């Protein structure tokens, strides 16, 4: 029988923290709550790195509450919401970082963002790096997957183990949340059935992200999943058919995203 990796002990339950230092790379404030609230509360001294400030340039994508505000004010609201949620998981602001990309445009800054993430990993020396899968749900989620892979590759033998939390993706023209795309069932993974206390904590964390309440209504509280990150070919679509953000007719297409990704990998030169 294959031995479970140490991080899979999360599914055993309990309230004590596992002796694994982690960094969670989230594309936006609230992604950490959606995908990894249990990991945040159970790993020792987790650090949170936000790829973007959560505020797109286009007001069409802003919360209805913030339509009269500036983009900077919206970003600050999202930052404060994140700090509120992370406080519920026992994470102080000193362990929260933002790399400063604009929401929906992280793929345009991959070399800089990879450099900044790599510097943090060298400083923090985590055992685990947790981020999004490459699934075409949101261009920034996919950028996080690419940036994490590039940072891990650049660190060679000194790199942390790369894990993924669930996000969302398209299936038959609809939205699927809380599940990974089919096809990577052979990689080590664990499903976490949240206890009542964990569901209540996750609900409080979600409530902190008040500006995103309409979006968060699509996500359930009962389970979370983590897995070892598979190897990706970022020059190819993550699945056949339209990606979720293409279904929504966002400005950035999957083809344009992949062109940016290929250019970034060529520039950095650390992925085979």
CA 79 to chain centre: 15
| Segment 170-219, tens digit of pLDDT | 999 899 999 999 987 788 999 999 999 999 999 999 999 999 999 999 99
On average, the pLDDT of the chain sits at: 94
Which DSSP string do the residues of 95-163 spell out, in sequence order?
GEEEEEEEET-GGGGHHHHHHHHHHHHHHH--SEEEE--SSSS-HHHHHHHHHHHHHHHHHGGGPPEEE
Element (H, E) at 22: strand 18-26
| Segment 219-244, tens digit of pLDDT | 999 999 999 999 999 999 999 999 99
Query: What is the structure's pLDDT at 112?
Result: 98
CA 217 to chain centre: 18
Structural domains in the chain, sorted by start: 6-268 (3.40.50.10320)
Higher-pLDDT residue of 70, 184: 70
Torsion of CA 133, 61, 114, 179, to 10 degrees: -10
Query: What is the structure's pLDDT at 2?
Result: 59
Query: What is the structure's pLDDT at 91?
Result: 96
| Sign, CA torsion 263/266/268/272 | positive
| Segment 16-25, tens digit of pLDDT | 788 999 999 9
State the Rg of the chain over Cα: 17
CA distance 216 to 48: 19
Per-residue pLDDT at 1 exceeds 80: no
Per-residue pLDDT at 14 exceeds 60: yes
Task: Report the alpha-carbon angle 91-39-53, nearest 5.
Answer: 55
Query: What is the structure's pLDDT at 183?
Result: 84
Please tell me the least confidently modeled range out of 35-39, 64-68, 192-196: 64-68
pTM of the model: 0.95
Helix (H, G, I), strand (E, B) or coil at 178: coil
Helix (H, G, I), strand (E, B) or coil at 237: coil
| Segment 132-163, tens digit of pLDDT | 999 999 999 999 999 999 999 999 888 999 99
pLDDT band at 272 (very low <50, low <70, confident <90, very high): low
Residues making up the chain, counted from first to last: 272
Share of the chain above pLDDT 90, in %: 83
């Amino acid at each position: 029988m294959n031995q479970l990796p140490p991080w899979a002990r999360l599914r055993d339950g309990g309230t004590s923290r596992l002796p694994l230092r982690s960094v969670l790379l989230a594309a936006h404030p609230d992604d950490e709550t959606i995908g990894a609230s249990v990991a945040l509360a159970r790993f020792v001294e987790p650090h949170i790195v936000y790829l973007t400030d959560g505020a797109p340039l286009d007001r069409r994508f802003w919360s209805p509450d913030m339509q009269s505000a500036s983009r900077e004010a919206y970003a600050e609201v999202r930052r404060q919401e994140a700090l509120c949620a992370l406080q519920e998981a026992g994470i102080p602001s000193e362990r929260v970082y933002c790399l400063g990309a604009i929401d929906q445009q992280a793929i345009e800054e991959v070399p800089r963002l990879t450099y900044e993430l790599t510097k943090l990993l060298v400083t923090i020396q985590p055992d685990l790096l947790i981020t999004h899968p490459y699934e075409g749900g949101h261009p920034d989620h996919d950028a996080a997957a690419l940036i994490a892979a590039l940072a891990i590759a650049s660190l060679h033998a000194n790199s942390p183990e790369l894990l993924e939390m669930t996000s969302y993706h398209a299936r038959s023209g609809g939205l699927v949340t809380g599940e990974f795309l089919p096809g990577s069932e052979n990689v080590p993974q664990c499903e976490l059935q949240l206890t009542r206390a964990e569901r209540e904590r996750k609900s409080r964390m979600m409530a902190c992200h008040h500006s995103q309440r309409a979006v968060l209504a699509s996500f359930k509280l009962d389970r979370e999943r983590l897995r070892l990150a598979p190897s990706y070919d970022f020059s190819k679509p993550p699945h056949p058919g339209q990606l979720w953000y293409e279904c929504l007719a966002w400005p950035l297409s999957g083809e344009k995203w992949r062109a940016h990704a290929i250019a970034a990998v060529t520039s950095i030169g650390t992925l085979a």
